[in-house]
A and B are shown apart, each in its own frame.
Chain A
Amino acid sequence: MAVKVRIPTPLRSLTNGVDSLDALGTDVQSVLAEVCQRFEGMDKRLFKQPGELNRFVNIYVNNEDIRFMDNLSTPVKDGDDISIVPAIAGG
C-alpha cells in the first residue's frame, strides 16, 4: 500500500532535494524502514537505535502525532500521509 511521506528541509540533502515520496508499508515502522533503505544516512538521522526515534523527531500520520496513537506501530493504509517534523519552540 502506498503512503505519502513528507521530507522536511533538513533531510532533503539526503534525498537529492525530494520533498515527498511514496513508500510501502503497513505501519509507520515499516514505511520509515523503506525510506531509510532508500536513502543512505537517513536511518541515523531518524533513529537513535532500532525502534527508538531521536528525541527531536516528531512523526505525524494524517496530522496526528503518533505518540497519541500506537507510536511506530501505528497502522497506515493506502493514501495516508506521514510527516516527519522537527520539534520547534513555543509562542
Chain B
Amino acid sequence: MSYVRGLKCRECGQAYPEKGVHVCETCFGPLEVQYDYAAMRGKVTRESIAGGPRNLWRYRDLLPIHGEPKVGLHSGMTPLKRARNLERVLGVRELYIKDDSANYPTWSYKERVVSVAITKAIELGYDTVGCASTGNLANSVAAHAAEAGLRAFVMIPHDLEQGKVLGSLIFNPTMVRIKGNYDDVNRLCSEIADKYRWAIVNVNLRPFYTEGAKTFGFEIAEQMGWKLPKHTVCPTAGGTILPKIYKGYREFINLGLVEDNQPRIYSAQAAGCNPVVEAIRAGRDLIKPQKPKTIAKSIAIGNPADGFYVVQAVKESGGWGEDATDSEIVEAIKLLARTEGTWTEPAGGTTLAATIKLIESGRIPRDESICVCITGNGLKTVEVVVDQLALPESIAPSLDAFDALMADRGTAVAAVSAV
C-alpha cells in the first residue's frame, strides 16, 4: 500500500493531486509529497525495512510510488565504511564514509532520485524522460531509461568531462549539448518542459525525484545500526540532497526508528561556486547567484533552486557551511583514495576538504561521530588528477631491470639466504 496523500506547496500550502506538475501555480514554490505518517506507525518498522530487498526500494513506504518499482532494482544500499585510516590522519574518533561512488549502474547518488522519478514517470503514463544535468544525472537517466525502454533526452553543458559525456552516450539517449553553463541548461529545460510532454526528471517530476534522495540518509541510519551520526557533511549543488537527507533523518526519528540525537548537517561547496555557503556565513536566507568557476563541475550550480532549503536545514540542525579551493579539492580526493581506497570525483573531494576544515576550525568536535557523504565516482573525472599523478617509467621484463629500479628507489630487498 502507499502512504502518499498528494502534493503540497512548501511555500503557500496549496494542495495538488499527484501529476507531472512543474511548480506551485500560485507562487512558484516547490511542491512536496505528503504522506500519512500516522498510518505508518507500527507498520513501517525496523523489521519491515530490514525484511525488504537489498536495494533502495526497501524504503518504498517512504517513497512516492503506488505500484511496483520499475527501475533501480540494483541501486542503493551502497557501502557505509568506517574510515579508520582517515580517523588517524585527521585525529577524530568516529568517521564514516557513505560511498555512493559505488552506486549501480552509473556510480553516483543520482541513481536514487532517478529510480524514483522514472518509476513515477511510468506510473503517470510518460514514454519519454529527460533531464538538465552536469553529467551524473544524465548518465543515470540514460541508463535507467534504456533498461525501462523509454526514450531519453539529456541536456548538458557543452564543456563536461569526457567520462561524463561518454557515460551517457553509451546508453544511446538523445544528447543535447548546450553552449552555456548548467544554469543556462537548467533554464532552457524549464522552457522545454513547458513545451514538450516529457517527464523531465528534475523539472516537472521534481517533487518525486527529490524524495529519492532521502534514501541516502535512510541507509546511513540503518547501516550505522539504527542510529544517526551526530555530524553529516554533504555537498551542495542545486540543493536537493542535503535537505532530503535531513528530512530522511527526521522521518526516521518521528517514526521511532532511531533515537533523536539532534543530528547536525553541514553544506560543502567549492570556493569557486559557493552561493549557499556564503549565505550561511552571512546569516541570510537569500541566495545570491554566482557564475561558477571551479573544477568541481558536478556541483557548479550558481543559482541553486533549493539553496534556500539547504540554508534552512543547516540552520535548524545547528550545522554550518564550508568551502574548498580547487587545490584543496584535489588534495582531498588523493587523501581519500590513499587512506580509504575510495576514488571520488571533485564533489567528494569538496566534501572531505570541507569536513577537514570544519574539524580544524572546531565546528565539528573531534570526539563525535561524523559521516562524509561521497556522491560520485572519480573514474568519470580523470581530468582533475591526470596532471597530478606521474606516469612511472617502463622497464624491460627482467629481474635485473626490476632490481635496478628498486635500488634506484631505495627499496631494500629483504636478504634471502641461499639454500
Indicate, yes or no, whether A interacts with B. yes
- State whether the Cβ of B217 lies closer than 8 Å to any Cβ in chain A: no
- State whether the Cβ of A83 lies closer than 8 Å to any Cβ in chain B: yes
Do B210 and A86 touch (CB < 8 A)? no
Chain A hits for B193, CB < 8 A? 9
Which of B37-45, B71-79, B143-151, B298-306 touches A? B298-306
Scoring A13, A67, A83, A87 by chain B CB atoms within 10 A of each residue's CB, the highest score goes to A87
- State whether the Cβ of A58 lies closer than 8 Å to any Cβ in chain B: yes
A45–B22 CA distance with the chains assembled, in angstroms: 15
Do B132 and A45 touch (CB < 8 A)? no
A19–B133 CA distance with the chains assembled, in angstroms: 26
Least Cβ–Cβ distance between A25 and chain B, in angstroms = 22
Chain B hits for A63, CB < 8 A? 180, 184, 187
Q: Which of B132-162 contact A (CB under 8 A)?
A: 132-134, 136-138
Residue among A44, A45, A60, A90 making CB contact with B202, cutoff 8 Å: A90
Chain B hits for A9, CB < 8 A? 22, 193-194
Do B203 and A88 touch (CB < 8 A)? yes
Q: Which of B170-204 contact A (CB under 8 A)?
A: 180, 182-184, 186-187, 189-191, 193-194, 202-203
Known: A54-B27, A68-B289. A89 touches B305 (CB 8 A): yes
Least Cβ–Cβ distance between A41 and chain B, in angstroms = 9
Chain A hits for B24, CB < 8 A? 10
Residue among B11, B202, B308 making CB contact with A91, cutoff 8 Å: B202
> What's the interface size class on B, roughly?
35 or more
Scoring B23, B193, B306 by chain A CB atoms within 10 A of each residue's CB, the highest score goes to B23
Do A65 and B289 touch (CB < 8 A)? yes
Least Cβ–Cβ distance between A36 and chain B, in angstroms = 15
A interface list, Cβ under 8 A from B:
6, 8-11, 13, 19, 44-45, 54-58, 60, 63, 65, 67-68, 83, 85-91
CB pairs A–B below 8 angstroms (28 shown): A6-B191, A8-B22, A9-B22, A9-B193, A9-B194, A11-B25, A19-B194, A44-B26, A45-B28, A55-B11, A56-B23, A63-B184, A65-B183, A85-B187, A88-B23, A88-B190, A88-B206, A88-B238, A88-B305, A89-B209, A89-B240, A90-B239, A90-B306, A91-B110, A91-B131, A91-B137, A91-B138, A91-B186
